[in-house]
Amino acid sequence: MSMDKADTATIIDGNKIAAEIRVEAKQEVDELLKQGIEPCLAVVLVGNNPASRAYVGSKVRACEETGVRSVKIELELEATEQELLDEVEQLNQDPDVHGILVQLPLPHHMDEERVIEHIDPAKDVDGFHPENVGKLSIGIDCLTPCTPSGIPELITRSGIHMSGKHAVVIGRSNIVGKPMMNILVQKGDRANCTVTCCHSGTDHLANYTRQADILIAAIGVPEFLTADMVKEGATVIDVGINRVEDLEHSRGYRLVGDVDFDDVKDVAGAITPVPGGVGPMTVAMLMKNTAKAARMIHKLS
Ligand code: NAD
């Protein structure tokens, strides 16, 4: 008798889980409103990058849906770094603003690190300020980056146990890979993993990825991860968002992840699609972070 091919993977529904999280965020916002606190997120956009503009638009829409007040500040591409720092300072000082997000990437004449460090860590809803990065790494409750924070939610809300599992992260960026490692290694049911981080300097990458129970790809290379790199039954989380030319689409491109979905889905136990996996979670977690920042600033539990 020939061996049957493994069943195809469970598709993790990021849209559905993100909708659940937005409902929870709205409940948290309602609780704050009852106490006379209107959570407010300020989003700062520099220049006219279409992708950044689209991200900012989806963040503002999520605010409307969850009852968070949003303030959008737009600076010309030619604005100086000092002008941006001055805007951030005003938001830092404004007691009615609880979250500040400077949309990245910034134009080349601005120093992203300096701008991030200027944001009040208490309002740093992106979780990129060195104070929050440090707190996360030593396990102190803080504001944590939205994209990696959504990933344990996707996994555990799909009924997959994380504690004790071997998680392999591909990518070491400050936005995804490194905070992902720091989240996965913490104690608690939504983490407690043994963590390996691979990156562009890793030799024999597949030797590590094939050992992963949970495999997280944050590489930025379209369809990089193939079935031969994945252990049978692994949970595969695809963070990648890449545009590849596709003249059959009206926009002239389609979005693909860092995982070759059609190849890997026959080996993985569970997998996130692109779009509709990690992407929608990022904005949902931003709403949670804004409510959390408002609670922390007002010293509510
Ligand atoms: P980045 O370019 O800053 O980092 C990519 C990482 O991949 C690097 O650390 C590098 O070491 C590693 N890498 C590159 N080539 C490799 C190779 N051949 N082998 C092993 N490792 C390799 O990117 P990023 O900001 O971390 O984003 C990663 C991807 O996630 C991108 O596609 C980005 O668009 C996407 N992203 C999605 C969301 C979301 O909301 N879903 C948020 C942020 C980033």
Say yes or no to pLDDT of 192 above 70. yes
Coil/strand/helix, residue 70: strand
- Has residue 2 got a pLDDT over 90? no
Both 104 and 157 in a single domain?
A: no
Containing structural domain, residue 257: 145-279
Distance of alpha carbon 216 from alpha carbon 272, whole angstroms: 10
Shared domain check, 204 and 255: yes
Q: Which residue, judged by its Cα, is nearest atom 6 of ligand 1?
A: 171
Q: How far is the centre of ligand 1, averaged over its atoms, from the C-alpha of 186 (Å)?
A: 22
The reply to whether 126 belongs to the active site is: yes
The predicted-structure confidence for 258-289, as pLDDT tens digits, reads as follows: 999 999 999 999 999 999 999 999 999 999 99
- What single letter denotes the amino acid at residue 193? C
Nearest residue by C-alpha to atom 42 in ligand 1: 147
**Same domain assignment for residues 44 and 154:** no
In this structure, the answer to whether residues 76 and 200 fall within a common structural domain is: no
The number of distinct structural domains making up the chain is 2
Q: Is residue 10 part of a domain?
A: no
Residue 110 falls inside a structural domain? yes
For residue 65, which of 34, 21, 101 has the smallest C-alpha distance? 21
- Predicted local confidence at residue 5, as pLDDT: 46
Can you give the CATH number for the domain in which 220 is found?
Answer: 3.40.50.720
Whether 56 is in a domain gets the answer yes
Between residues 167 and 251, which one has the greater pLDDT? 167
Q: Is the pLDDT of residue 3 over 80?
A: no
Average pLDDT over residues 212-230: 98
**Global pTM value:** 0.95
Q: What is the pLDDT of residues 8-31, one digit of tens each?
A: 999 999 999 999 999 999 999 999
Q: Is 96 helix (H, G, I), strand (E, B) or coil?
A: coil
User: pLDDT (tens digit, 9 = 90+) per residue, 132-141?
Assistant: 999 999 999 9
CB of residue 218 inside a 6 A radius of ligand 1? yes
SS3 at position 156:
helix
Query: Does residue 275 belong to any structural domain of this protein?
Result: yes
